[in-house]
Amino acid sequence: MSNQEVAILNVGGSTFTTWASTLRRFPESRLARMLNGNDHEFRLVNGQFFVDRDGTLFNYILDFLRTLQLSLPTDFSDYQRLQREADFYELHSLADLLSQENLLKPRPEILEVRFLLQETQAFFRVFGSCSNTIEALAGWVTMFTEQSLRQNWNNNPFPSQKLLTPLPLERPSHHDLVFQCGTDYSAGDQLVARYSPCVVFLS
């Protein structure tokens, strides 16, 4: 296959299209040998080179071949898996870059909690710079409102009881958790704000 031809790869079910010259960026790599038919790990199926590897991580590998730069999302954490894929394709420069200690260190995360008023409703919003952290919090955090139960007898010696009602959880994005904790309602000619005390449980 000449460098001017288009190559189609099927990596674990994900299809990628690129110039053959891009895959030959590093002549010693397995991708370059694949085009020459010298690597039996890659099978030519219906005009596509198939290899049973991680297609999601191959996005970053192909981007590196195109730009010679490593560009990863801010919340990316699969450095070791990506390095393993780079080793598989024998892209030694990429593997060496991923093995650098400063890349493997966890990046500082931003976690922000805010109380918001939006039109006629009140919310608690939790924002996180790392979507994995927010995903974990969604499974750990349950927020309830406290509502007093009305007592129907006089001179009740017991303190008023509290009813805990779970608040619905909303996920407007991968980086947000939102709990509704209050509403505004009309009372005659006045607009009355009503906010519920909240209790948070961590499981």
User: What percent of the chain shows pLDDT beyond 90?
Assistant: 34
Mean pLDDT computed over 101-123:
69
Residue 191 has pLDDT above 50, yes or no: no
Per-residue confidence (pLDDT) for residue 61, from 0 to 100: 96
What are the residues facing 115 on neighbouring strands? 124
23-28: long-range contacts, CB 8 A cutoff, minimum separation 24: 23/65, 25/65, 25/68, 26/65, 26/91, 26/92, 26/93, 28/90, 28/92
Q: In whole numbers, what is the pLDDT of the chain averaged over residues? A: 79
Per-residue confidence (pLDDT) for residue 193, from 0 to 100: 45
User: What percent of the chain shows pLDDT beyond 70?
Assistant: 71
Residue 91 has pLDDT above 90, yes or no: yes
Residue 186 has pLDDT above 70, yes or no: no
Q: Are strands 6-11 and 48-51 parallel, antiparallel or unpaired?
A: parallel
Residue with tokens 């400063």: 102
Per-residue pLDDT of 36-58, as tens digits, reads 888 888 998 999 999 999 999 99
Residue 32 has pLDDT above 70, yes or no: yes
Residue 104 has pLDDT above 60, yes or no: no
Cβ burial, residue 1 (10 Å; 0-12/13-18/19+): middle
Residue 179 has pLDDT above 80, yes or no: no
Give which of 88, 86, 93, 90 is closest to 69, Cα–Cα.
93
Distance (Å, rounded) from C-alpha 11 to C-alpha 173?
28
Residue 192 has pLDDT above 70, yes or no: no
Structure tokens at 157: 């010696």
